[in-house]
Amino acid sequence: MALRDFVRKVEEKEAVVAVVGMGYVGLPLALRFCEAGYRVLGFDVDGSKVEKLNRGESYIKHIFGELVAVAWKSGLLSATTDFARIPEADAVILCVPTPLGKHREPDLSYVINTTESVVPHLRKGQLISLESSTYPGTTDEEIVPRVLEAGFTPGEDIFVVFSPEREDPGNRHFKVQTIPKVVGGTTPECLQAGEAIYGAVVDRVVSVSNTKVAEMAKLLENIYRSVNIGLVNELKMVCDRMGIDIWEVIDAASTKPFGFTPFYPGPGLGGHCIPIDPFYLTWKAREFEINTKFIELAGEVNTSMPEWVVHKIMEALNDHGKALKGARIMVLGIAYKKNIDDMRESPARAVMDLLIKAGADLCYNDPYVPEIPTLRGFDVKMASTEVTAGALEAMDAVLVLTDHDNYDYKYIAEHSKLVVDTRGRYRGSHSNIVKA
Q: 3-class secondary structure for the chain?
A: CHHHHHHHHHHCCCCEEEEECCCCCHHHHHHHHHHCCCEEEEECCCHHHHHHHCCCCCCCCCCCHHHHHHHHHCCCEEEECCHHHHHHCCEEEECCCCCECCCCCECCHHHHHHHHHHHHHCCCCCEEEECCCCCCCHHHHHHHHHHHHCCCCECCCEEEEECCCCCCCCCCCCCCCCCCEEEEECCHHHHHHHHHHHHCCCCCEEEECCHHHHHHHHHHHHHHHHHHHHHHHHHHHHHHHHCCCHHHHHHHHCCCCCCCCCCCCCCCCCCCCCCCHHHHHHHHHHCCCCCCHHHHHHHHHHHCHHHHHHHHHHHHHHHCCCCCCCCEEEEECCCCCCCCCCCCCCHHHHHHHHHHHCCCEEEEECCCCCECCCECCECCCCECCCCCHHHHHCCCEEEECCCCCCCCHHHHHHCCCCEEECCCCCCCCCCCEEEC
Q: Which residue in the list 34, 190, 239, 273 is annotated as catalytic?
A: 273
Amino acid at 73: K
| Contact assessment for residue 92 and residue 114, using Cβ atoms and an 8 Å cutoff | no
**Integer Cα distance of 190 and 5 in angstroms:** 13
Active site residue 239: no
10 Å Cβ neighbour count for 325? Answer: 11
* Active site (catalytic) residues: 273
